[in-house]
Amino acid sequence: MPSWLVPLLQWGGCALAIVTAAALIYVLGIMEPAAEGEPVTAPVSVYWVLLVIGIGAAVVGIVLARRKPAGVGQR
pLDDT digits 0-9 by tens, 16-40: 999 999 988 887 776 565 566 666 6
Instruction: Collect all residues with Cβ–Cβ distance below 8 Å to 20 and sequence separation of at least 6.
Output: 47, 50, 51, 54
Q: Quick one: pLDDT at residue 26?
A: 81
Taking 60 as the threshold, does the pLDDT of residue 74 lie above it?
no
Q: pTM here?
A: 0.74
What is the overall mean pLDDT for the chain? Answer: 83
Collapsing DSSP to helix, strand or coil, 39 comes out as: coil
